[in-house]
């Protein structure tokens, strides 16, 4: 079972995404802040990070940089794409909110497949 770190500060969005992922048989560790996400990232091994672009104590890209150093693929979800430069999103897969479950699952399949191919 693949383990996913989901970092999203909006409780309703986080719970919805968690339910979608659990229904697809993923193991999900949810967090609402950058600090909580960092703590979980330091304690566990993940196959994917799903992170909100804007968090109350930082950005999803800050956590994504740490995840990528550990070889963990990343998807950034945001409705604030206009607040960041293109270079801040460079190298990350990006989903604009509102995220549709089917769109999320397609993106995850692509990112996980690419990550598996790069490890061979």
pLDDT digits 0-9 by tens, 10-39: 999 999 999 999 999 999 999 999 999 999
Can you give the pLDDT at residue 115?
Answer: 87
Mean pLDDT to the nearest integer, 32-60: 96
Tens-place pLDDT, residues 58-116: 999 999 999 999 999 999 998 865 555 555 555 678 888 899 999 999 999 999 998 88
Q: What is the CATH number of the domain that holds 98?
A: 3.40.50.2300
Structure tokens, 62 = 């800050």
Q: How many domains does the chain have?
A: 1
What secondary structure letter does DSSP report for 10?
-
Domain that holds residue 89: 3-119
The whole-model pTM stands at: 0.90
- Give the CB-side neighbour count of residue 119, counting CA atoms within 13 A: 11
What secondary structure letter does DSSP report for 82?
G
């Amino acid at each position: 079972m693949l383990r996913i770190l989901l970092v999203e500060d909006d409780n309703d969005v986080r719970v919805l995404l968690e339910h979608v992922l659990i229904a697809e048989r993923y193991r999900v560790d949810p967090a609402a802040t950058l600090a909580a996400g960092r703590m979980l990232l330091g304690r566990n091994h993940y196959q994917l990070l799903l992170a909100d672009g804007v968090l109350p104590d930082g950005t999803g890209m800050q956590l994504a940089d740490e995840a990528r150093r550990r070889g963990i693929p990343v998807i950034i979800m945001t409705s604030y794409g206009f607040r960041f430069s293109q270079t801040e999103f460079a190298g990350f897969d990006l989903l604009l909110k509102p995220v549709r479950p089917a769109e999320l699952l397609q993106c995850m399949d692509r990112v996980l497949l690419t990550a598996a191919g790069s490890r061979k």
